[in-house]
Structure 1
C-alpha cells in the first residue's frame, strides 16, 4: 500500500488505477525492448560466426550473402540490416576471430633481455600459433588483394601486430650501422606468416627448426 500510495502521489493523476496501469505498461515495454536487443545480438552473432566459418572453408572472395544467410539461418535482408556495408562485416569478423584466437603476447617478449633469445622465443611462439590456423590465414591473406575492406581490416589487426612485434624485437642489437627501417624490415620478414609457410611447407622444416633458422639469420643480419 505504501508503494502504491507513493506512485499515486508522485504521478498527480486523479485516478490511482491509471497510474498503476501505466507503471505495468512501462515495465512490460522494458522487458520487450530487452528481449528484442538480446535477439538482435544473437542474430548478429550467428551472422558473424557464419561468415568466419565460410572464410575458413572457401575464403572471403568466394563467400556470398546467400551462403551467409543460409548458414546463419536468417534472410538476406537481415544480413544487410545488421551489416549494411562490407567494411562493418569484415571488421566484426576480424574482431570475433581474434578474440577466439589470441596471438602471442609481445609484452612478455620485452622481459627477455638478450635480443637473440628474444627473437628465437618470439618466432617459436608465433610459428606455433600459425600452424593450426594456416587455412584461415592463407585464405584471408590471399583474398585481401581482391577485397579492399578486408585489406583494411588486416592492416588494422595483423599489420599493426607485426609492426609492434618487430619494434619490440628490434631493441638491444649491437649493430648500430644498420638503419632502423632495415632492422624492422628484416624482423617483419621473419615474423610474417608467408615466411613460416614457405619454411615449413616447401622447405620441409618443423616449426622449431624454422624458428631456429630464422633466428640465426636475423642475428647474422642485425648482430
Structure 2
C-alpha cells in the first residue's frame, strides 16, 4: 500500500509539474506575441518571431495555437485583462445627453491614451487582423456610439448625428486631436462635445437647442 501510495503521489506530482510547464509555455508565447504586436504590429509579427522571443520552436507555437485567430484572440484577451476598460454601463447613468457624451468620451479617451502604443499598431494593421476581431472592434465602437446616442430626443437624431458620434468614438479621432496635435483629453472631449451638440441642435427647431442638448 505504501509503495502504491508513493507511486500514485509521484504520478500526480509529475502531471502537476507538466501542467505547470505547459501553462508556462503557453503564457510565454502569449506574452511574446503581445510584445511584438505592440512594438512592430500584427502585420509584421511572424510565428518564427514569436517562437524566438518565447524561447520555443515554431511547432510548439502551433501546438498551442493552431491558427492566427486563436493566437490573436489569446493576445487580445491577455492585453485587455491588463487595462482599465471603458465602462459604458457607467455612462448610461447619465440621463442628460451632453453629460453622457462628456462622461463617455472622457472614459473612452482615457483608455485610448493608456493603450495608445498597442491600439495604434492594431488599427494601423487593420487588414492584417482576423476577420472576427475586426468585426468585434466595429461592433464595440457601434455600441459605444449607441450608448451616447440614447438620451438624445428622436427629433435630433439623423444620419449626421450618427456619423458625428461614430467619429467621436473612433480611436483615430482621439489620436489626431491628442497625439498628432498635442491636445489634452479634456480639450478633445470639449471639442467633440461641442461638435456633437451643434449637430444635434441643427436637426431641431430654432430656439429649442437647450432641450435638444439636454435630451428633453
For normalisation by structure 1, the TM-score amounts to 0.82
Aligned to 1:105: 87
Structure 1 residue 43: deviation in Å?
0.7
Separation of aligned partners in 1, 2:156 and 2:147: 19
Match of 1:207 among 169, 172, 185: 185
1:66 aligns with 2:41: no
Write the deviation string for residues 95-116 of structure 1: whole angstroms up to 9, x where unpaired. Answer: 0010011312111111112110
Determine the C-alpha separation between the residues in 2 that align with 1:35 and 1:167.
Answer: 48
Q: Which residue of 1 aligns with 2:152?
A: 173
Q: Unaligned stretches of 5+ in structure 2?
A: 201-211
Q: How many residues align?
A: 201
Structure 1 outlier segments of 4+, above 3 Å = 20-24, 181-185, 201-204
For 1:77-116, list aligned pairs within 5 A.
Answer: 77-116=59-98
Report the Cα distance in structure 2 between the residues aligned to 1:154 and 1:21, rounded to whole angstroms: 57
Unaligned runs of 5+ in 1: 1-16
Q: 1:2-21 maps to which residues of 2 (within 5 A)?
A: 17=1, 20-21=2-3
Pairing 1:219–2:197 present: yes
Match of 1:8 in 2: none
The Cα shift of 1:31 comes to 2.0
Question: Structure 2 length normalisation: TM-score?
Answer: 0.84
Q: Is residue 116 of structure 2 the alignment partner of residue 155 of structure 1? A: no
Contact in 1 for aligned 2:164/2:195 (Cα 8 Å)? no
Give the Cα separation in 2 of the matches to 1:41 and 1:131. 32
Paired position in structure 2 for 1:190: 168
Question: What is the RMSD computed on CA atoms of the aligned residues?
Answer: 2.0
Q: Which is bigger in relative contact order (C-alpha 8 A, separation at least 6)?
A: 2
Aligned partner of 1:30 in structure 2 is: 12
Aligned to 1:6: none
Change (3 A) 1:185 1:29: farther
Instruction: Judge conservation of contact 2:102–2:193 (CA < 8 Å) in 1.
Output: yes
Contact 1:94–1:153 (8 Å) recurs in 2:
no
